[in-house]
Amino acid sequence: MLDTLKLSLRDFVIGPDAPLEVQPPAVNAATGELGPEHLLWWTPGRKVTGARAWHNSERINISVKPRVEKSELSGVCLVQFSVPKVAGGSNYHGTDHAGTVAALDAVQRHLDDLDIKTNVRSAAVSRLDAAQSLSMREPFESYSQVLGRLTAKRAGRRDYGTTYLFGNTRWEACFYDKLEEMRRQKVSTDGLPANSLRAELRALEGSKVREMFGFQSAGELVADLGHVRAVYRAHMEKQLLREVAPGDPGVAVSGLVEQFQAAQEAGPRWWSAWKEAELMRHLAPDAEAVKHAIRLAAPSRREANRIIREVEQREREALALRRLGPSSRTWGELYDELREKVLA
C-alpha cells in the first residue's frame, strides 16, 4: 500500500566525508553580486553554507535546505524514496510489514554509508503516498469517461489523457495507466496484468500527513500499516467515490432544451412546472445549454446552483445506462467495478 515516503530527519549529523553536492548562492548577472548564503549544516571544525545540497542515488534522494527563518540553525534534511522500490526493485506491488521494515533499514544503512548519522525511525513523515495497482477487466481508456466525471470536494481536477489528478496543494488522488507509465520509464512489464490501473492517495506535506493519517514519525507508521489502508479507503470514498452507481432513471427525451426554455417563459415559477413535467428524470441532449438557461432564468444564483446540481445528478444517472468507448459495458458497470476495486 505504501509507495513514496519523504522523511524529515529530526536529529542528524552530516560528517566531513558525506558526498553531498552543495549549490552555491545565485549570482546577479548584472552586478555580479552573490545572493545570500545560508547555513546548511555544521561539520566538525567548519560550517557548510550555500543555497542547498543534495545526493541522489538510484532509489534514494537526499536534500538539505536552509531554515531561512532560523538562519542560525542547521538546515532541514529530507530523504525521499519509494518503499517498494527500495525493498524489492519495483513499485507495482506494495510491501507488507516485513518489506516496509526492510526498506527503512536499507535507508538507514545508506545514510550511515554516506556519513549521515541519524535515526530513521524517529524522522517525521513529510509526505506519504498510499497506492495500489488494480487489475481491471477493461483497458484504461474504458474508465476514462468515468474518471473524467468524478469530482472531489474543495479540489481541482486535471486530465492528462492517461492520468487523472484530483486535489490541491496539500493532498492529491491520482489514477493512471500503470503499464504505460512503466513503458515510458523503460521498465519491463512482463508478467503483469494487461489492464493495470494505478490508484494513489498522496499527503503532500507533513501537516497533512498528521491530519490525515495521524503519524508523527516513521516508527509510528511502521507500527500501524493497517491504518494507512483504512485511511486510503475512507478518503477515496469520501472525496471521489461517494455514490453507488444509480439505477435506471428512465429514457432520455429529445428536445429537452426547447421544453425547458418554454417553461422558462411561463414565469417565475418555471422550475415547479418543469419538475411536475418530470423533466428532471431525463438527460438533456445539450446539458450545457440547459445549465445556461437555468442561470438566465433562476431568480438567484443560489437557486440556479441548486437546480444545476439536480440536473448534473440526472445526467450521471443517464450516463449510468450509456455504453461508453471501447467497452461493451455501461458507465454504471464500469463505475461499480472501479469503486469496488479502489475501495477493496
pLDDT digits (tens, 9 = 90+) for 225-265: 999 999 999 999 999 998 765 443 322 323 444 555 555 56
The sign one gets for the Cα dihedral 113, 116, 119, 120 is: negative
> Closest by alpha carbon to 103, among 119, 89, 123?
89
Instruction: Judge if 294 and 210 occupy the same domain.
Output: no
pLDDT at res. 321: 56
**Mean pLDDT on 118-125:** 97
Query: Which residues of 140-299 form beta strands (DSSP E)?
Result: 156-159, 163-167, 171-177, 196-203
Instruction: Specify the DSSP element, H or E, that contains 3.
Output: strand 2-8
- Please give the Cα distance from 286 to 258 (Å, whole number): 11
| C-alpha pair distances (Å), 1 with each of 107, 127, 144, 166 | 18, 14, 23, 19
Question: Which residue type sits at 49?
Answer: T
Instruction: Judge if 168 and 65 occupy the same domain.
Output: no
- Please give the Cα distance from 86 to 245 (Å, whole number): 39
Number of domains comprising the chain: 3
Cβ pair 50, 38 in contact under 8 A: yes
> Could you list the residue range(s) of the whole structural domain that residue 69 is in?
1-122
Domain limit, last residue, from 90, 122, 154: 122
Instruction: Judge if 133 and 231 occupy the same domain.
Output: yes
pLDDT at res. 248: 32
Convert the pLDDT of each residue in 174-205 to its tens digit.
Answer: 999 999 999 999 999 999 999 999 999 999 99
Q: Which three cell numbers stand for residue 151?
A: 469530482
Contacts of residue 281, Cβ cutoff 8 Å, sequence gap at least 6: 249, 250, 314
- Please give the Cα distance from 335 to 243 (Å, whole number): 10
**Other C-beta atoms lying within 10 Å of the C-beta of residue 326:** 9
51: helix, coil or strand? Answer: coil
- pLDDT-derived band at 295 (thresholds 50, 70, 90) equals confident
Instruction: Judge if 177 and 287 occupy the same domain.
Output: no
- Please give the Cα distance from 281 to 320 (Å, whole number): 13
Instruction: Judge if 228 and 285 occupy the same domain.
Output: no
Instruction: Judge if 141 and 224 occupy the same domain.
Output: yes
Instruction: Judge if 277 and 176 occupy the same domain.
Output: no
The sign one gets for the Cα dihedral 107, 110, 112, 116 is: negative
Instruction: Judge if 205 and 275 occupy the same domain.
Output: no
In the chain, DSSP finds a helix count (H) and a strand count (E) of 12, 14
Instruction: Judge if 158 and 112 occupy the same domain.
Output: no
- Please give the Cα distance from 150 to 143 (Å, whole number): 11
pLDDT at res. 229: 96
pLDDT at res. 220: 96
Instruction: Judge if 228 and 313 occupy the same domain.
Output: no
- Please give the Cα distance from 106 to 85 (Å, whole number): 11
- Please give the Cα distance from 84 to 90 (Å, whole number): 6
Convert the pLDDT of each residue in 261-290 to its tens digit.
Answer: 555 566 555 556 555 444 444 444 456 656
Residues in the chain, overall count: 344
Phi, psi (rounded to 5 degrees) for 5: -125, 140
* Beta pairing class for 124-135 and 196-203: antiparallel
Instruction: Judge if 214 and 333 occupy the same domain.
Output: yes
Instruction: Judge if 89 and 182 occupy the same domain.
Output: no
> Which residue would you say has higher pLDDT here, 126 or 292?
126
pLDDT at res. 148: 84
